[in-house]
Structure 1
């Protein structure tokens, strides 16, 4: 399968919300426990579309005659947008369930690592539920180091979740 990425556009929001809501159901990738709506996501999405140093990418399947959004990567500000932290970006990667394990996450992450320095980013990090083996493997494959475990910081439908932070200096 061939993939490409591009900056997200307003027209992508429906697919982005759909992909995100698939992950909500799994209780493995987000602390949201109920699906989100287009209207609840629109304000933060619109704000990020206009941010030149924290892009929001969609991954597209680009096989013969087919173009379909299959995932996304979001560069976010680290630690509440305090300027001293602008050298660090917090990454979020979400994939449509039909395209998980098919190289989309690795494609997005390798491009993020390559592009980050041109955005003024020196360090990339993310948080992963400790039970999310696939995400931990993905980031380890791309040389992210384990920076620590935060035990029991989330409660999802009565289940305590540990959160791991991983990062990489570029």
Structure 2
């Protein structure tokens, strides 16, 4: 799928978007690049997770091209303690047909523009060390490797490392 010069549109996710969010997430599982889940998840299993997002501080947005949801991006609480309230963990997922079309760049730029009103000044991203495209996207946007967790994930009887990339705003 070639999105050409299309600009992505970003909207707060609505509960009716949850099935598509889960569908896109599940597309990432077999590639072993973007998530440590090893089996598809269900919409029901994501209900509580979805309800924890709010527009004022830790939102989830859908990413649309031609009015169709092609991805999503979220900011979640980091470590769940009050002292980390100005830090968020970022996640970005795209439907398989929409990888490598510049949408990740648009998504990061969009999120960065939202940070002042969300009162967030630090973003962290947990990215598999072997996920070269995501590592490149974040580093190109000023994220630095703040930590390396060697061989912490096991998928298909193989060990995988995770890097924590971060950026202060």
TM-score, normalization by structure 1: 0.93
Give the whole-Å Cα distance in 1 for the aligned partners of 2:135 and 2:143: 9
Secondary structure, counterpart of 1:26 in structure 2: coil
Q: Which residue of 2 aligns with 1:25?
A: 30
5+ residue gaps in structure 1? none
1:32-72 deviation per Cα after TM superposition (whole angstroms, max 9, x unaligned): 10000111111211232x4521000110003xxxx100111
Q: Which residue of 2 aligns with 1:141?
A: 140
Q: Which residue of 1 aligns with 2:57?
A: 53
Q: CA deviation at 1:104?
A: 1.3
Give the whole-Å Cα distance in 1 for the aligned partners of 2:18 and 2:78: 23
5+ residue gaps in structure 2? 1-5
> Are the equivalent residues in 1 in contact too, given 2:12–2:55 (CA < 8 A)?
no
Runs of 4+ in 1 over 6 A off after TM superposition: none
1:64-101 deviation per Cα after TM superposition (whole angstroms, max 9, x unaligned): xxx1001111100001x201001111000011110111
Give the whole-Å Cα distance in 2 for the aligned partners of 1:105 and 1:70: 11
Q: Which residue of 2 aligns with 1:40?
A: 45
Q: Which residue of 2 aligns with 1:70?
A: 70
Aligned length: 164
Give the whole-Å Cα distance in 2 for the aligned partners of 1:71 and 1:133: 19
Give the whole-Å Cα distance in 1 for the aligned partners of 2:32 and 2:90: 18
Q: Which residue of 2 aligns with 1:168?
A: 167
RMSD: 1.0
Give the whole-Å Cα distance in 1 for the aligned partners of 2:74 and 2:132: 20
Secondary structure, counterpart of 2:24 in structure 1: helix
Secondary structure, counterpart of 2:108 in structure 1: helix
